[in-house]
Amino acid sequence: MTFRHRHLLGIEPLHPMEITTLLDLADQYVALNRAPQKHSDALAGLTQVNMFFENSTRTQASFELAGKRLGADVMNMAMQASSIKKGETLIDTAMTINAMHPDLLVVRHPHSGAVNLLADKVNCAVLNAGDGRHEHPTQALLDALTIRRAKGRLHRLSVAICGDIAHSRVARSNILLLGKMENRIRLIGPPTLIPADVRDWGVEVFDDMRAGLAGVDVVMMLRLQKERMDGGFIPSEREYYHRFGLDGEKLSHAKDDAIVMHPGPMNRGVEIDGTLADDINRSVIQEQVEMGVAVRMAAMDLLARNRAAAPQGVMV
Ligand code: NCD
């Protein structure tokens, strides 16, 4: 099974076999990243441009490292200082970069759909590094790789996704991916942070952590995304932590070997107890960061191979 896509804009268009292909390649890159010599020339001669219109620590750093380890020329655009500030539109900026012949464009943008719009206008492969509340495909893929390595499989698991589902592109991409791979998904959070159309997504919904976590294999916590809220979603952070913050007692309702995940950045003491987040017997948060580099290497490698095979861009 090959990976037949020109861009990586979301999990939605991916076939389960393509997800497996990508994760298998990422496993090989995990091994490379742990070796003393971390270099391959899979992207040698290619140019990768990172355009982040929203703040990022781990996603931007790992895309940069991924490109460098594969031998690409990597440029990080300082979008804060770019002509966007002077009123240039997203499309004009994209066309300007496009004229410089990049091969891979990594884009994060605060508006849902902006990255898809941009992908229509450029000749290079576009990777969505998070658009609004829409999708964050490489995050779901790195989460999937982390789960597969910890649990030995990526199907027939019970996964709880907890907290601010409504504002989370991480939740959306994970629900799509875990659903395609035939897992049971539970969403846990206050009704104000659960999207209205959630019943169509093939998930179970809980507003009680202990009931929702009962017997699950994986507990995925989400950050309370205050920058996407305009007030009134939660009574107070203290109250939220009391009801929905993950601590040892609430986790004791999950399976004894359940793993704890968080995409970062974490609000310790708001959605998760700091000691639990650092507990290497339960938390795989650092593994998620490690898998992030390998998954991004695999994604860029597969898209670059497709460009080499079909430079006129017949794929979607
Ligand atoms: C997430 C994001 O930006 O969507 N972070 C990340 O990429 N690791 C989640 C978040 O911001 O809470």
Decide whether any atom of ligand 1 lies within 6 Å of the 163 Cβ: no
* 44 CA distance to ligand 1 middle (Å): 29
**pTM of the predicted structure, to 2 decimals:** 0.96
The C-alpha atoms of residue 44 and residue 193 are separated, in whole angstroms, by: 44
Decide whether any atom of ligand 1 lies within 6 Å of the 169 Cβ: yes
> Do residues 208 and 190 make contact, with C-beta atoms less than 8 angstroms apart?
no
* 304 CA distance to ligand 1 middle (Å): 25
Decide whether any atom of ligand 1 lies within 6 Å of the 221 Cβ: no
Secondary element (H or E) of residue 136? none
Q: How far is CA 225 from the centre of its chain?
A: 15
Decide whether any atom of ligand 1 lies within 6 Å of the 172 Cβ: no
Decide whether any atom of ligand 1 lies within 6 Å of the 263 Cβ: yes
> Do residues 251 and 219 make contact, with C-beta atoms less than 8 angstroms apart?
yes
Decide whether any atom of ligand 1 lies within 6 Å of the 173 Cβ: no
For residue 91, the model assigns a pLDDT of 87
SS3 249: helix
Residue 187 phi, psi dihedral angles, 5° rounding: -105, 130
For residue 312, the model assigns a pLDDT of 53
Nearest by Cα to 26 from 12, 15, 42, 10 = 42
- Position in ligand 1 atom list of the atom nearest CA 225: 12
Q: Which of 60, 170, 224 to mutate to test the pocket of ligand 1 (most atoms within 8 A of CB)?
A: 170
* 309 CA distance to ligand 1 middle (Å): 33
Decide whether any atom of ligand 1 lies within 6 Å of the 130 Cβ: yes
* 164 CA distance to ligand 1 middle (Å): 12
Q: Mean pLDDT for each 10-residue chunk of the chain (316 residues)?
A: 91 98 98 97 97 92 98 90 72 90 96 94 96 97 99 98 96 98 98 90 96 98 86 85 97 98 96 97 98 98 90 52
* 313 CA distance to ligand 1 middle (Å): 30
Structure tokens at 48: 């990768």
Which amino acid, one-letter code, is at 14?
Answer: L
The C-alpha atoms of residue 131 and residue 158 are separated, in whole angstroms, by: 27
* 264 CA distance to ligand 1 middle (Å): 6
Per-residue CA distances from 170 to 161, 275, 285 (Å): 10, 23, 14
For residue 222, the model assigns a pLDDT of 98
Burial of 229 (0-12, 13-18, 19+ CB in 10 A): middle
Decide whether any atom of ligand 1 lies within 6 Å of the 58 Cβ: yes
